[in-house]
A and B are shown apart, each in its own frame.
Chain A
Amino acid sequence: MEDINNPHSPNESDNEKGSTRRNFLKNLGLAGVGVATGAAALYSGHIFEAKKNVSGDQRVLLTQDGKLVQVDSLEIKALNKDKEELHESMWRGGIPGKRWVMVTDLSKCRNARKCISACQDAHQLRPEQYHMNTLQMQDAPGTAPYNMPKNCQHCDNPPCVAVCPVDATYKRPDGIVIIENDRCIGCRFCMAACPYSARIFNWIEPKDAAIHEGQDYNAELNVPQKMGTVSKCLFSADRLREGKLPYCVEACPNGVYYFGDENEDAVTNGTTKETVRLSKLLRDNGGYQLMPELGTKPRVYYLPPKNRLFPFEESNDLTPEKA
């Protein structure tokens, strides 16, 4: 660009060698043409640059389908969508490029139930309302009992989503099954269809409804809860959006939960914060799914309750219903 814009430079050496009038005139003519050309080039360049609107400040952005792109900062425009529309596309679109997956290590669960309280606090649930519950399991009379944390399995073939008449519950590209309680009509067909009993219902006014009144609804957290609508585990989609682990995973003191992205083949333990290969973890420990014979294709894997170094304690306590 420099050279083209300075048409004088090739001619100056000629001027030093001979200064005849003819040469001078010739040079003058050439210079004139050069200046005119240069000016024209400069001008059109200026127009072009003005059109391109380049500030030189390049930003790296992640597109909705998960690709990294470089864009000049002047090119970035705010989307002219209203808040509701934006929320809707965010909630339905999910977190780009991710396929969330959870691994629950049954050999570590000592029924501390910290996951449950963290979950109930975050989702404004009553004590008898579980997105996550720990069950005392015994597969056969001769086999050892064990604790099994059970949340929504976020099935890839979710029976609950199939039966919903109003599209209130849906499967996102990132694997999470969401329930939107501002759409739910409360027919509870999804609850009847779920083989994992993962869904709950707000039979009465939700906990602390008066306190949370007027709060903006966030489908990725499903709060504030609404009377007459279904609620369920959302893999703490609100936390994932901030790059954090789910509430239950973070709260576990015993290293039961691994959570991560199937696309990256990596899961992080919520207690030790150690990140391991998902495929290796499942392969080495005999990972399995709950009731895979139903064809639901769960996104939660379990590691068998083997080599436990602590006793099993019976604790099927009843939670009184709080009105």
Chain B
Amino acid sequence: MTMDDNKLTFDKLTSDLTHHIRINKGFLIWMGFLTISLFICLYAYTIQLRTGLGVAGIRDYVTWGMYLANFVFFVAASLIGMLVSAVLGLIGMKWITPITRIAETIAVAFAAVAGLVIVSDMGRPERLAYVFIYGRPQSPILWDVTVITTYFVLSLLLLFLPLIADMAIIHRKVDNLPSWLKPVYKSLSLNFTDNPQQNKIINRSIRILLILLIPAALSIHTVTSWLFAVTSRAGWDSTVFGPYFVSGAFVAGSAAVIIAMFFFRKNYKLQDYLTDVHFNNMGKVLATVSLVYLYFNINEFLVPGYKLKRADAVHLQELFAGKDAILFWLIQVGGLLLPILFMLFRRFRKPLPIMLISVAVLIAAWFKRYLIVVPTQEHPFLPIQHVPQNFMHYSPTLIETLITIAPFIMVLIIITLISKFFPVIPLHDKKKKKGIDHIKFD
């Protein structure tokens, strides 16, 4: 390659991956919509702050409702950063490189907001600091706080480190940037000049982070599953809850990444970078983790279903044929079995079909958390008597629903901002792959 060719390829690459970094009408409308929606939801939260958790449908028996299901879902979705970057990356899958930043963005967004979701479930949110002041290490909540914070910091670093080189390229080579963004990129680039020494430090740091990320990610969802599994209630009292939750998290996260890939590809015109091959491969990943999840589902329902201990029998009866049966079978068939079947065929792993399948899987994933959290509490060991009708069966309220939607809006805002102001595809990595080894920074 001659120097000129080099320059040409590099310019096209840079422009392809950074042309979306500008404030346009579409972005403003989208952000305006998100912001207004968020404020409506936050207003609902102020009502809850004033009048108490009673504005939600939760009561003394079903004491954990949608907020907690939402929390589990958010922790689950954040796990994907670890699967794509760490697991697939460390075993040497080259095709995942353009997807890593998308996965890390999703991980950071969901992990950051998961903490807020759990605050919305607290009766006394103003006492949040008590968890740190009076924290008791025996409580799984302390473990959860510790590992989620750790995972969030690791994910944030893993998002940031590969960005350093990209920032250096952008602030030197891209001219049509909003003027106020230039100094931001410059300071974020930390004086990176692409010399071998710097690259060595960054690459080594990333590798260490990737290795640390695996136990941290496994911990966050295993510990979250223990919030339930450490109790003796039917439906929660399970020894496979850790891997059951982790495999379920990979399903939700993979689906979220595929959906994000689809929209970035379309909106930011990345067809040359997120190709059918990537969708095909992510489809295979989703099919694989879904099969693992199916395996744990069979364990989780068949074993207690075979014995039918009294409390388990009531619980399973409600799920299989009782009042939760329609939702349960929609989730298991529509969100797990059918997607697996479809994904076995190549034509369903094309961008559009696999995106639609992912949407179904992701919706099912949320309702699956709902079914894990709620029905168990509707039939405790001792009968529910002498209480109002709304204590016996949980039905979410409008305010509760709005407060549950708020975190999704926050995640969308975070993902939108990160993807808008930084290249969605790692630029520096791509440059190397194209054989452009060194571009002189002038």
Cβ contacts A199-219/B at 8 Å (1 or 0 each): 111111100000000000000
- B231 near A316: Cβ-Cβ < 8 Å: no
A312 interface residue, CB < 8 Å from B? no
Give the distance in Å from the alpha carbon of A150 to the alpha carbon of B123 in the complex: 25
Could you tell me the distance in whole angstroms from the C-beta of B193 to the nearest C-beta in chain A? Answer: 47
Given known A189-B227, A197-B61, contact A164–B381 (CB-CB < 8 A): no
Cβ contacts B373-412/A at 8 Å (1 or 0 each): 0000100111111111111000000000000000000000
- B383 near A195: Cβ-Cβ < 8 Å: no
Which one, B121, B124, B140, B386, contacts A318 given CB within 8 A?
Answer: B386
Could you tell me the distance in whole angstroms from the C-beta of A31 to the nearest C-beta in chain B? Answer: 74
A86 interface residue, CB < 8 Å from B? no
- A128 near B231: Cβ-Cβ < 8 Å: no
- B382 near A187: Cβ-Cβ < 8 Å: no
Given known A165-B136, A188-B64, A192-B64, contact A197–B121 (CB-CB < 8 A): no
Binds B, one of A50-58, A132-140, A240-248: A132-140
Size of B's binding interface in residues, CB under 8 A:
46
**For A150, what are the chain B residues with a Cβ–Cβ distance below 8 Å?**
382
Given known A166-B131, A187-B122, contact A317–B52 (CB-CB < 8 A): no
Name B's interface SS: loop
B306 interface residue, CB < 8 Å from A? no
**For B123, what are the chain A residues with a Cβ–Cβ distance below 8 Å?**
184-188, 201-202, 227-230
Give the distance in Å from the alpha carbon of A229 to the alpha carbon of B53 in the complex: 10
- B141 near A163: Cβ-Cβ < 8 Å: yes
**For A135, what are the chain B residues with a Cβ–Cβ distance below 8 Å?**
382-383, 385
Give the distance in Å from the alpha carbon of A128 to the alpha carbon of B392 in the complex: 12
- A133 near B53: Cβ-Cβ < 8 Å: no
**For B125, what are the chain A residues with a Cβ–Cβ distance below 8 Å?**
186
**For A201, what are the chain B residues with a Cβ–Cβ distance below 8 Å?**
53, 59-60, 63, 123
**For B441, what are the chain A residues with a Cβ–Cβ distance below 8 Å?**
none
Q: Which of A58-113 contact B (CB under 8 A)?
A: none
A191 interface residue, CB < 8 Å from B? yes
- A195 near B232: Cβ-Cβ < 8 Å: yes
Apart from A128-B387, A183-B127: 15 A-B pairs, beta carbons within 8 A:
A135-B382, A163-B138, A165-B131, A166-B131, A185-B122, A185-B128, A187-B122, A192-B227, A197-B384, A199-B60, A204-B52, A228-B123, A228-B124, A320-B388, A321-B391
A28 interface residue, CB < 8 Å from B? no
A130 interface residue, CB < 8 Å from B? yes
- B130 near A166: Cβ-Cβ < 8 Å: yes
B180 interface residue, CB < 8 Å from A? no
Q: Which of A164-189 contact B (CB under 8 A)?
A: 164-168, 183-189
Give the distance in Å from the alpha carbon of A81 to the alpha carbon of B281 in the complex: 68
B139 interface residue, CB < 8 Å from A? yes
**For A187, what are the chain B residues with a Cβ–Cβ distance below 8 Å?**
121-123, 141
Give the distance in Å from the alpha carbon of A94 to the alpha carbon of B322 in the complex: 46
Q: Which residue of A lies closest to B144 (CB)?
A: A165
Give the distance in Å from the alpha carbon of A196 to the alpha carbon of B233 in the complex: 10
B135 interface residue, CB < 8 Å from A? yes
Cβ contacts B59-86/A at 8 Å (1 or 0 each): 1110110000000000000000000000
A39 interface residue, CB < 8 Å from B? no
Q: Which of A281-323 contact B (CB under 8 A)?
A: 290-291, 294, 316-321, 323
Leading 7 A-B pairs by shortest Cβ distance: A186-B123, A228-B123, A203-B54, A204-B54, A165-B141, A321-B388, A165-B139
A159 interface residue, CB < 8 Å from B? yes
Q: Which residue of A lies closest to B145 (CB)?
A: A165
- B136 near A167: Cβ-Cβ < 8 Å: yes
**For A323, what are the chain B residues with a Cβ–Cβ distance below 8 Å?**
54
**For A276, what are the chain B residues with a Cβ–Cβ distance below 8 Å?**
none
Q: Which residue of B lies closest to A130 (CB)?
A: B386
**For B382, what are the chain A residues with a Cβ–Cβ distance below 8 Å?**
135, 150, 196-197, 290
Give the distance in Å from the alpha carbon of A197 to the alpha carbon of B389 in the complex: 17
Could you tell me the distance in whole angstroms from the C-beta of A283 to the nearest C-beta in chain B? Answer: 26
- A185 near B385: Cβ-Cβ < 8 Å: no
**For B136, what are the chain A residues with a Cβ–Cβ distance below 8 Å?**
164-167
**For A118, what are the chain B residues with a Cβ–Cβ distance below 8 Å?**
none
Which one, A163, A168, A318, contacts B387 given CB within 8 A?
Answer: A318
- A228 near B385: Cβ-Cβ < 8 Å: no
Give the distance in Å from the alpha carbon of A167 to the alpha carbon of B127 in the complex: 13
Q: Which residue of B lies closest to A198 (CB)?
A: B382
Give the distance in Å from the alpha carbon of A321 to the alpha carbon of B383 in the complex: 18
Give the distance in Å from the alpha carbon of A162 to the alpha carbon of B125 in the complex: 21
Give the distance in Å from the alpha carbon of A203 to the alpha carbon of B125 in the complex: 14
Q: Give the interface of B toward A (CB within 8 A).
A: 51-54, 58-61, 63-64, 121-125, 127-128, 130-131, 134-136, 138-142, 227-228, 230-233, 377, 380-391
Could you tell me the distance in whole angstroms from the C-beta of B223 to the nearest C-beta in chain A? Answer: 13
Give the distance in Å from the alpha carbon of A323 to the alpha carbon of B385 in the complex: 19
Give the distance in Å from the alpha carbon of A135 to the alpha carbon of B233 in the complex: 19
**For B381, what are the chain A residues with a Cβ–Cβ distance below 8 Å?**
195-197, 291
Which one, B54, B130, B141, B380, contacts A189 given CB within 8 A?
Answer: B141
**For A168, what are the chain B residues with a Cβ–Cβ distance below 8 Å?**
134
Could you tell me the distance in whole angstroms from the C-beta of A131 to the nearest C-beta in chain B? Answer: 11
**For A191, what are the chain B residues with a Cβ–Cβ distance below 8 Å?**
60, 63
Could you tell me the distance in whole angstroms from the C-beta of B312 to the nearest C-beta in chain A? Answer: 14
**For B54, what are the chain A residues with a Cβ–Cβ distance below 8 Å?**
203-204, 323
- A166 near B134: Cβ-Cβ < 8 Å: yes
A193 interface residue, CB < 8 Å from B? yes
**For A193, what are the chain B residues with a Cβ–Cβ distance below 8 Å?**
230-231
Which one, B53, B127, B139, B385, contacts A163 given CB within 8 A?
Answer: B139
Give the distance in Å from the alpha carbon of A166 to the alpha carbon of B139 in the complex: 8
Q: Which residue of B lies closest to A191 (CB)?
A: B63
**For A159, what are the chain B residues with a Cβ–Cβ distance below 8 Å?**
230-232
Could you tell me the distance in whole angstroms from the C-beta of B49 to the nearest C-beta in chain A? Answer: 9
- B51 near A136: Cβ-Cβ < 8 Å: no
**For B52, what are the chain A residues with a Cβ–Cβ distance below 8 Å?**
202-205, 227-228
Could you tell me the distance in whole angstroms from the C-beta of B9 to the nearest C-beta in chain A? Answer: 55
Could you tell me the distance in whole angstroms from the C-beta of A306 to the nearest C-beta in chain B? Answer: 21
- B383 near A186: Cβ-Cβ < 8 Å: no
Could you tell me the distance in whole angstroms from the C-beta of A88 to the nearest C-beta in chain B? Answer: 12
**For B64, what are the chain A residues with a Cβ–Cβ distance below 8 Å?**
188, 192
Could you tell me the distance in whole angstroms from the C-beta of A210 to the nearest C-beta in chain B? Answer: 14
- B124 near A316: Cβ-Cβ < 8 Å: no
Give the distance in Å from the alpha carbon of A167 to the alpha carbon of B384 in the complex: 28
**For B122, what are the chain A residues with a Cβ–Cβ distance below 8 Å?**
185-187, 228
**For B377, what are the chain A residues with a Cβ–Cβ distance below 8 Å?**
192
- A136 near B140: Cβ-Cβ < 8 Å: no
Which of A134, A136, A203, A317: most chain B CB closer than 10 A? A203
Which of B233, B387, B390: most chain A CB closer than 10 A? B387
Could you tell me the distance in whole angstroms from the C-beta of B372 to the nearest C-beta in chain A? Answer: 13
**For A166, what are the chain B residues with a Cβ–Cβ distance below 8 Å?**
127, 130-131, 134-136
Give the distance in Å from the alpha carbon of A137 to the alpha carbon of B381 in the complex: 12
Give the distance in Å from the alpha carbon of A282 to the alpha carbon of B127 in the complex: 44
